[in-house]
Structure 1
């Protein structure tokens, strides 16, 4: 079989994602589970990850934008699906027609949802969002009565059905933070007002990934799990992925593009912020900030090369960076592993987050379209015999070999 190696690739283990979803469902026994696949599945690929989550029992999917939700419908998803980040003039009619639950945080959005329902000729499935203290989207308590009254009127008119009352935590990743109980109290109060006014939501929900893992009193009818579904701890100070029974889903690697000996005091990369301490070997990793490698990790980002951890030598450039491997031996084409589950001693996304002064959410989400995604176990089987089954970035199942636009062909690993 002809194989064209890839410059770089992000291998996405869908069996690990399914296992994570099952683990999270067990954590929230008694509540339904929503797998959040916004931002292209946190960089992992929305459609393949959505399919895997459904296979593992996720009753709901969640997206930020309506365009993301409509893309899932176009790909064949027919289950419960919610999107929450709307702006005026959005595709309300299309979302209503596609049976997508739409979030409403104010009267303007309710008016547009009603108009979309009338245009679609069917009732809109609406979830009212309460701002219980996060201060982003959601209806403030002093405006809540007006929104609830208007929503009840629209229900009576037959243009909407209020399917959910929901909110979002600000500090659920910091157990014991006083805002958690304050938000929970505000949520219960606003929920109680809506129910007293005659609204009977199908689902009540406030729990995100950290709340799902550490705050069982917040589970209500539904939990929304984003980053935890992809095997990354939302609260690394509280517990690692392994502590929570989760496995990172993405492994990012690249082929070495050059290996060369250089003398002592040789400058490396832009600005010469790194100079070699003595005669040494430099290895070139052909990914950079255009691929999502954080420039803020210059001089610090960890990479497994030639069996050992190395640090980025000097600045991360747009398309490449360098590691100093000393007198160790490597060859052009050898694998450099930036992050993965850690099974082979490679760094994790959390290690990169610490190096860049950010969070692991950003590390995986920012990996760009130039890096092909290669999907393992896309057929729903968590064990394979012989060749792994993979799925290409366009969603078509293939065996062993996967073609990716712009990068030729490669193989599953």
Structure 2
């Protein structure tokens, strides 16, 4: 399963969903029902699961469009069954993450409700809390609890269908948790769940963030840069203005810590990152208005990656890529038209 929630982690859900299907992903995963229905409206016809709904969700629409939904409690199961007589249901057990899913006695209640209703179940699943720390004891505990939950379902006479537990991190490090299906989230986009996580899976980020310099100027030593003069030039240098800022989801917290890529070199982002723009110190590199600067990319040439920007911002790569928006234009393909 390729997980394409949150606009495919900020990468553009339509093209990413199509690429995932073409690459062999049997399933797609969308958190909300609205996301799943939008995929159907865009023409996707393959197996599709959604799992995050509040009371009042349109389960009838899910049935009409062959979207599989997730019941995380007996109460939610009743709501699904009241909305449609032909549901495609998976069950979620909370094995210790403490978020969605039936926990403890709630699971026994959900199993009983499913058995009494006689509704076919197409899958049972859970989510790991610490898979990006392969040695964490929670991983063993959650996997054991998942096996117990599946056994309880089978003992009640219910075929569990597809069993799935592994997210990206467990896919890469925990074969025992693979079961019948694995859910590739952040790894689908070439980013590690945690940069410190040991793994031998080759990952190459697929998204690059580029812009053209809007202004270039030579300034003397002692020149303050951007709001608050949080940076003052130490010598005569060339400054380049990049027309992207926190209005596009680039974290202001990366001020003074991030770098970009220009003319085959890393160059520092200097001064406060603003709503619409930021400044890079180009030193003595030749530069003109319109030249391309890369904030982050695959890293294969030495350019910063989304992980680098996450570290500079004090966050995780998930937030860096899913937060992109505003006036950024997404262009899909092996090359970006108008950029080099």
Same fold by TM (over 0.5)? yes
1:190 shift after superposition? 1.0
- Structure 1's consecutive aligned runs of 4 or more residues displaced over 2 angstroms after TM superposition are 410-413
Contact 1:374 1:412 in 2 (8 A): no
1:311 shift after superposition? 1.9
Q: Which of 81, 84, 89 is equivalent to 1:126? A: 89
Q: Which residue is 1:152 aligned to?
A: 115
Secondary structure in structure 1 of the residue aligned to 2:16: helix
Separation in 2 of the partners of 1:294 and 1:310? 17
Q: Which residue is 1:307 aligned to?
A: 264
Q: Which residue is 1:142 aligned to?
A: 105
Give the structure with the higher percent strand: 1
Q: Which of 185, 188, 191 is equivalent to 1:232? A: 191
Separation in 2 of the partners of 1:39 and 1:117? 27
The correspondence of residues 9-408 of structure 1 with structure 2, limited to 5 A, is 34-118=1-85, 123-155=86-118, 160-239=119-198, 243-376=200-333
Separation in 2 of the partners of 1:324 and 1:239? 34
Aligned residues: 340
Contact 1:73 1:98 in 2 (8 A): yes
Q: For structure 2, list consecutive stretches of 5 or more residues without a partner in the other structure.
A: none
Separation in 1 of the partners of 2:114 and 2:143? 23
1:8-52 Cα offsets, whole Å, 9 max, x none, are xxxxxxxxxxxxxxxxxxxxxxxxxx0000000111111111111
Separation in 2 of the partners of 1:285 and 1:89? 45
Separation in 1 of the partners of 2:302 and 2:238? 22
TM-score by length of 1: 0.80
Alpha carbons of 1:330 and 1:411: their partners in 2 closer, same or farther (altered >3 Å)?
closer
1:221 shift after superposition? 0.4
Contact 2:255 2:273 in 1 (8 A): yes
Separation in 1 of the partners of 2:285 and 2:137? 51
Highest RCO, 1 vs 2 (Cα 8 Å, sep ≥ 6): 1
1:279 shift after superposition? 2.0
1:357-380 Cα offsets, whole Å, 9 max, x none, are 111111111110421111115xxx
Contact 1:289 1:295 in 2 (8 A): yes
Separation in 1 of the partners of 2:315 and 2:201? 21
Alpha carbons of 1:411 and 1:314: their partners in 2 closer, same or farther (altered >3 Å)?
closer
1:103-141 Cα offsets, whole Å, 9 max, x none, are 1111221121112214xxxx1111111010000111101
